[in-house]
Structure 1
Amino acid sequence: MIWLLVAHFTAAALAPALVRKWGRQAFFALALVPASAAIWALPRAPGVIAGEPELFFLPWAPNYQLALAFRMDALSLVMLLLAAGIGALILLYCARYFSDDEPGLGRFAGVLTGFAGAMIGLVLANDLIQLYLYWELTTVFSYLLIGHYPERRDNRRAAAMAINVTTMGGLTMLVGLVILGESAGTYLISGILAEPPSGTAVTVALVLILVGALSKSAIFPFSLWLPAAMQAPTPVSAYLHAAAMVKAGVYLIARLTPAFGDIPAWQYTAVILGTATMIGSGWRALRQHDLKLLLAHGTVSQLGFLTAIFGIGTRDAALAGLAMLCAHALFKAPLFLVVGIIDHSTGTRDLRELSGLRKKMPVVFWTSVVALMSMAGLPPMAGFAAKEAAFGAFEHADTLLATLALAGVVVGTLFTVGYSLRFLWGAFFDKENTSPTPLLHPPGPLFVAPAIVLAALSLLGGFGASLADPVFASYADTVPGAGHDPAHLALWHGFSLPLLLTALCLAGGLLLFRWRVMVAWLGARFALPEAGNVYRRIVYYLSSFATQVTGLTQRGSLPLYLGTILVSLLVVSTAPIVWGRLWTLDVPPVRWIDTPPQLIPAAIIIIAALWTLIVRGRLFAVVLVGMTGYGTATLFALHGAPDLALTQFLVETVSLVVFVLVLRRLPPQFSTPVLRSRRLVNLAIGIGSGILVAVMAYLTLAGRQAESISEGFPAAAEEAGGSNIVSVLLVDVRSWDTMGEISVLAAVAAGVASLLFVRRRTRLPHTHIETGRIVARLPQPPSNGESEWSPLPLTYVGDIITPRVAHKPLWLPGVLTLAQERRSIIFEVVARLMFPVIILISVFLLLTGHSHVGGGFAGGIVAGLGLMVRYLAGGRHELYLSLRLPPGLLIGLGLSITTGTALAGAIFGTEIFAGGAFDLHLPFLEPIHLTSALAFDFGVYVLVIGLIQDILYSLGAGIDEQAEKDSRTGKAPEYESEEVTA
């Protein structure tokens, strides 16, 4: 099953390239991916229906009970076939809906294909946290698809509304999922369903989960986002908002119903809100003039119907709910596709402007008739069989809640018949005072085919209802309390109460359509507040509140922020020390020093730190701060921690260079003196924080009660095939932690770049390069042909220029762009000699890190220092020429390598990050011991190089370029403002 997801996400990544090559025809190839998922599931259906689910389990982080767990039972099978089958048809529809020159078509194709993969992952997930990850993926993909036209204000608003509402619900649901998983002692959904926990905490968890489900399926009070989302292209509405994403909430309710369907808080919330949604949105649909909005409100109404059915919590309700879920997808998706065809062919979807299409588009008309009959619940459609089963489930539940819900869904179904007739009349029939609508682009057969297929399946689903009964019953039988006479799905059950209610709904719907003018007047007279207006007012008040809070708390003063954090640390951390009288613990005496040489770096650190408080020059302050870092590294080395010492030395060096680069845009002196009182307060906070951290560290280590995990480090290093415990700890034992840390590094690089490059990085000009106070042009042969320089052709690589002299590449060619007073021949020679050595050292640290001091992180920093040397010697153009690969590519490549190493452990081993080792035998050489950790370390190595390169681009070359622009315009440098007194 994992390969289904890999195929979808791979296709999503390739989609932009396919669209660039083949245009809209690429959708035909992309449709094969979800189609293959449906084809994969069909042969496995008999076993799944018989009660033998397909399983896949791969440990992810066993200590945290996290795993890649997939399970396909009857419910997942049905949802998979809907998501994959309808997804394939929607992609085929896109091949004719869009034109080849559609803006952003490649991105759209990739996101839509990725959404299909996320939806399949969601319905197959057998782990609560994994389900949440796919849940949020569908939210993000939906946001991108709704906002496909970012230049349109309505699209941006609709996308923001959708992601705000569903993300709020998703975060609430996450809390519930964690509580449920902890209460059950497992996060496996199958385990929770087999032995459901109970108690108040579980009830709270279920209500929180229900909030997420209701927000995803647009159930009141979260209904506002779905009608607004109709700004999205029609294929998005047909797939996400009819057949896939909005079904996710209903699916989650259906998934948990077998275990928790009898809990009152679950039942009453789902049934009451579902019924209210069905009635309210059905009434709104009766007054819509936009065909797409009519279907949107109808979709919300039907989602309320589904929620109410599953909320009853009985076996018959589960059977009817799953049947209705399928029927809804099969009739609502083709209706959205029909709206897209009408809009594409006529240029409008306003039913007041449409007239006479029944004769001009007969195939589309009859396709709509079939789908609308199913939506209205008329025989012999699938919608009729499912609705009859739902009415019967409410009847047989024999509770007051079910009886009231039955009355509500009858009213909602009556509205459904009414807006179904309104759709058919408004879209296709002749109207008085409306001229026949011309066809601007008659639809082709491939454009109409997906809608025909779905409508035909809706018809066949009615006739074959009894054949589909075992599929739905396989899920329904998991709900407790099936009884001795369980219901069965069939097209005809004889004359009964459900049939009588169907006739009543049909008659009432006809009357509503007949009196549509009066209905419109009543709707306008007693209209409820528009959901969009309510949302905008909520956002306005939240923004105003946030502005007030920000004004009170965010003063722009870094000392204030840091002081607040440290004071909070002092208060929160000192309280338990005093309250618990931790100083009374029986701990060994403090060992102040191990060896006399430690006194020297300790004294340097103290003196440098105190000196920093009184110095006025920024550069001197930076040097003093660097001395504290180098002193700390020396202490690490003297204390027997060479890995920590090396890393601290390297990081401190990089930090020092970055500080110096930034100082170029700051005044040389601290301009505002610090008040004496403020200085004393800062001193007290700093000393107090330092003492607190020292005391906490000592009490934590000295008062240890359990055995230290470090006792097992030597054995872990031996098992991993390495002798450097620190490196083994980082890339083997705690590889997940390292993975998270390098992800943070990637985010930091993106953040630094985004702060400086608001739009995009500018590229080098082709003809000349301006630096400092003069224009430094690359040497060119004079007009008379005499020059001490040989002809200097330029090699173009994108916008990067590589000068060549005498057909040989120059070393440090970027120095040719610098003004003479900015060049240092000595430094250039040193850079030329040292750069290859630095790179060799970095590679050595990378290769030997598993057994000696070093590793990918240290090696990457050393290589980054090599780039710094070339930049400092040759300027920003030398930086561009020293490494042609962009930093974003390196960072992404590093993350890909580390991720690939993790997945390789799952493919060739037993779990993610499973390690391996082997000896490489080469002629005339001793065996070389290699481990899988080397590949992981190499990914870290590449990412760190990309990080430093990105920082140099941002804080080095970016500031250089800004200074050059200021020099050209004669503008004085604008120093960044700061607040020191706060």
Structure 2
Amino acid sequence: MIALIVSHFVLAACAGPLVHRLGRRAFLVLALPPAAATVWAFTRWNTAASGDADTWSWQWIPDYDVSFDLRLDALAELMVLLAAGVGALVLLYCASYFRDDTPQLGRFAGNLLAFAGAMLALVLADDLITLYVFWELTTVFSYLLIGHGSEHRHSRRSALQALVVTTLGGLAMLVGFLVIGQAAGTYRISTIVADPPEATLAVSIALVLILCGALSKSAIWPFSMWLPNAMAAPTPVSAYLHAAAMVKAGVYLVARLSPAFADVPVWKPVILVLGGATMLLGGWRALRLNDLKLVLAYGTVSQLGFLILLAGTGNRNAALAAAAMILGHALFKAPLFLVTGIVDHATGTRDLRKLSGVGRSLPYVAGVAVLAAASMAALPPLLGFAAKEAAFEALLHGTAAERWALAVVVAGSALTTAYTLRFVWGAFARKPGVPDTPVHRVGRAFLAPPALLAVLGLVLGPGVGWTDRLLGAYADTYPAPRTPTTSPSGTGSAPPCSCRPSPGPPVPSSSSGAPPSPRSPAASPGPPPTASSAISCSGRNVSPSRSPVSSSAVPSPSTWPPRCSSWSADSSPCSSPTSRGRAHRPPGSGTTCSRAAWPCSPASWRCSA
């Protein structure tokens, strides 16, 4: 894990000599570290999909409990595959996009590979301070990449704007991290998510500061303007940073923390309002522009609003849809940016008013663009359709606020369809009164990376069930919904938690029928439970709750989930805090998992009948 991250930075430092010796073919060598990270992530697929996690730790600042912690769980697995997989393909694309005599090509190549390494470390970080360090590294490298054409004033200004907005947001986020870490007594993310601190005023303010960092990184309104201006960067940068990597960092952070903090009163209003507003404003703006990259840029802003809204909703169904949409968005937006680069390269313009007849001259390029655009417009049977249908279903069966958000999402989806049609028509259609645009020949290697991504979006549409286990393992970190859970593939999925009290003599419950509170004596760690009353845990993940259940209590029927009529014993014991892919460390239990205080609530029990 750590070797893969280090290899990115080591080879990035060698990029200058490699480009000097090999020219643009050096990108083929530079693609090796992200390609290796992609292969490694695939080898860990079953581990992550089963709810387990690979970890690596190095004590960084022991006196302050700050460690260099890395952790590959289901959500990190998804993000590694996107950051590394798309990164490798973009580097291969660069070998065709640039010329050997492109100025400062070695510096550009090194910055792009170093950014990929920083992004890889960011999504693997299991410590708030470690995450912040690599968060800021992505900001620095994005500044260098956006400002690559430093001879142009617009490039310099755009790079500086992106740096200022994301750095200020990052500093606010750091303050929030420090407050949350002090309140939780640890900076380890998995531990904080498993046992979040009480929602005090200080914690609420800290969450607002953290959201400032996440929303500014993902270009959510009112921080949106830096992303369209960043289109001054070369097209490979736009395809990678602004479709699959950097702008997903904010979405990733919200998705990572939402299981712990979605119930804090300040969380959902900020997420739903700003996410919905961004989706509408970005979509509307995309309809009014003539530069193909800017159409895609504002479309990206709109889609990021949608992703933030889903990731921060705080229920399992929305989490499933968010994970599927994160994957789908990368598989349609990155190829569309890459295709735009091919069109610009072949015609010398991105102005849709001047482009005419390009589809006939470049039929294969047009075919790839139409395939990716169909997924963006959520047409069946592509992955974009499956993910958006899952999102509609999740919001429809949510709270009243989520149903209002659904209305916004439907309106935003209509705008998405409109600017998608405008993009395809503007780039490839023959327009009356506009002469056919002269086109240069495009090599197969140039088209291969966007074609592969677009085809994956097609294959994973009907084949989305292949990802159900992985996406479900992340969604299982949320409390089970009261409505039936539906995966993006349309099939039912088992509720997330698997705490099954075995049959035994009833124990009186409280008057409300609820289990004892977390601070009550009954919930405190005790001796190992007997065979007749043990709580055993299995399945993908145990969803923690603020209301642990005493191991000596058999739940009152009034606390059973709907349609549940009986309970069954499970012989699989809980072995360690991280055995199920998350840190299950109840308060006061030390570093081992005490089954007597395992944090499960009635909302997360699995019905066995």
TM-score (norm 1): 0.50
CA-CA distance at 1:491 after TM superposition = 6.0
Distance 2:437 2:263 in 1: 53
Distance 2:264 2:334 in 1: 33
CA contact (8 A) 1:132 1:174 kept: yes
CA-CA distance at 1:107 after TM superposition = 0.2
Distance 2:407 2:425 in 1: 28
Q: 1:210 aligns to what?
A: 211
3-state SS of paired residue (1:352): coil
CA-CA distance at 1:492 after TM superposition = 8.7
CA-CA distance at 1:67 after TM superposition = 1.0
Distance 2:466 2:118 in 1: 30
Q: 1:112 aligns to what?
A: 112
Which letter does structure 1 place at the counterpart of 2:242?
A: H
CA-CA distance at 1:109 after TM superposition = 0.3
Q: 2:235 aligns to what?
A: 234
Map Cα deviations across residues 67-89 of structure 1 (whole Å, 9 max, x no partner).
11000000000000000000000
Matching of residues 20-419 of structure 1 within 5 Å: 20-198=20-198, 199-397=200-398, 399-419=399-419
3-state SS of paired residue (2:266): helix
3-state SS of paired residue (1:281): helix
Which letter does structure 2 place at the counterpart of 1:209?
A: I
Matching of residues 415-814 of structure 1 within 5 Å: 415-439=415-439, 441-483=440-482, 485-490=484-489
CA contact (8 A) 1:38 1:85 kept: yes
Which letter does structure 2 place at the counterpart of 1:221?
A: P
CA contact (8 A) 2:397 2:483 kept: no
Question: Which stretches in structure 1 are left out of the alignment for 5+ residues?
Answer: 494-982
CA-CA distance at 1:400 after TM superposition = 2.1
Question: Which stretches in structure 2 are left out of the alignment for 5+ residues?
Answer: 493-609
CA contact (8 A) 1:463 1:491 kept: no
Which letter does structure 1 place at the counterpart of 2:413?
A: T
3-state SS of paired residue (1:462): coil
Distance 1:203 1:167 in 2: 22
Which letter does structure 2 place at the counterpart of 1:256?
A: L
Kindly indicate which of the two structures has a greater share of residues assigned to helix: 1
CA contact (8 A) 2:352 2:426 kept: yes
Distance 1:130 1:351 in 2: 44
Which letter does structure 1 place at the counterpart of 2:386?
A: A
Distance 1:48 1:243 in 2: 21
Distance 2:342 2:477 in 1: 41
3-state SS of paired residue (1:55): strand
Distance 1:65 1:459 in 2: 46
Which letter does structure 1 place at the counterpart of 2:430?
A: D
Which letter does structure 2 place at the counterpart of 1:450?
A: P
Distance 1:460 1:482 in 2: 29
CA-CA distance at 1:136 after TM superposition = 0.2
CA-CA distance at 1:423 after TM superposition = 0.5
Map Cα deviations across residues 313-370 of structure 1 (whole Å, 9 max, x no partner).
1000000001001000000000000000000000001000000011110100110111
CA-CA distance at 1:135 after TM superposition = 0.2
CA-CA distance at 1:6 after TM superposition = 0.7
Which letter does structure 1 place at the counterpart of 2:176?
A: G
3-state SS of paired residue (1:485): coil
3-state SS of paired residue (1:490): coil
3-state SS of paired residue (1:164): helix
Which letter does structure 2 place at the counterpart of 1:235?
A: P
3-state SS of paired residue (2:434): coil
Distance 2:231 2:490 in 1: 33
Map Cα deviations across residues 101-122 of structure 1 (whole Å, 9 max, x no partner).
0001000000000000000000
CA contact (8 A) 2:272 2:405 kept: yes
CA contact (8 A) 2:311 2:322 kept: yes
CA-CA distance at 1:48 after TM superposition = 1.4
Map Cα deviations across residues 284-329 of structure 1 (whole Å, 9 max, x no partner).
0011100000000000000000011112110000000010010000
Distance 1:337 1:492 in 2: 34
Distance 1:492 1:133 in 2: 40
CA contact (8 A) 1:384 1:491 kept: no
Distance 2:332 2:158 in 1: 25
Distance 1:456 1:476 in 2: 26
CA-CA distance at 1:482 after TM superposition = 3.3
Distance 1:239 1:491 in 2: 30
Which letter does structure 1 place at the counterpart of 2:325?
A: M
3-state SS of paired residue (1:246): helix
Distance 2:257 2:225 in 1: 25
Distance 1:49 1:242 in 2: 25
Q: 1:830 aligns to what?
A: none
CA contact (8 A) 2:9 2:114 kept: yes
Q: 2:509 aligns to what?
A: none
TM-score (norm 2): 0.80
Distance 2:312 2:130 in 1: 24
3-state SS of paired residue (1:312): coil
3-state SS of paired residue (1:60): strand
Distance 2:407 2:265 in 1: 20
Distance 1:491 1:366 in 2: 28
Which letter does structure 2 place at the counterpart of 1:485?
A: P
Q: 2:560 aligns to what?
A: none
Distance 2:361 2:274 in 1: 42
CA-CA distance at 1:481 after TM superposition = 3.2
Map Cα deviations across residues 569-602 of structure 1 (whole Å, 9 max, x no partner).
xxxxxxxxxxxxxxxxxxxxxxxxxxxxxxxxxx
CA contact (8 A) 2:214 2:254 kept: yes
Which letter does structure 1 place at the counterpart of 2:475?
A: A
Distance 1:312 1:4, change over 3 A: same
3-state SS of paired residue (1:221): coil
Matching of residues 934-973 of structure 1 within 5 Å: none
CA contact (8 A) 1:12 1:114 kept: yes
Which letter does structure 2 place at the counterpart of 1:367?
A: V
Query: What stretches of structure 1 move > 4 A for 4+ residues in a row?
Result: none
Which letter does structure 1 place at the counterpart of 2:99?
A: S
Distance 2:95 2:470 in 1: 33
Q: 2:507 aligns to what?
A: none
Which letter does structure 2 place at the counterpart of 1:350?
A: D
CA contact (8 A) 1:374 1:382 kept: yes
Distance 1:25 1:294 in 2: 31
Matching of residues 888-967 of structure 1 within 5 Å: none
Distance 1:278 1:184 in 2: 34
Which letter does structure 1 place at the counterpart of 2:307?
A: L
CA-CA distance at 1:58 after TM superposition = 1.0
Map Cα deviations across residues 859-900 of structure 1 (whole Å, 9 max, x no partner).
xxxxxxxxxxxxxxxxxxxxxxxxxxxxxxxxxxxxxxxxxx
Distance 2:12 2:255 in 1: 29
Distance 1:254 1:180 in 2: 17
Distance 2:365 2:93 in 1: 14
Distance 2:159 2:371 in 1: 32
CA contact (8 A) 1:268 1:311 kept: no
3-state SS of paired residue (1:23): helix
Distance 2:483 2:63 in 1: 44
Q: 1:8 aligns to what?
A: 8
Distance 2:265 2:453 in 1: 37
Which letter does structure 2 place at the counterpart of 1:86?
A: V
Which letter does structure 1 place at the counterpart of 2:16?
A: P
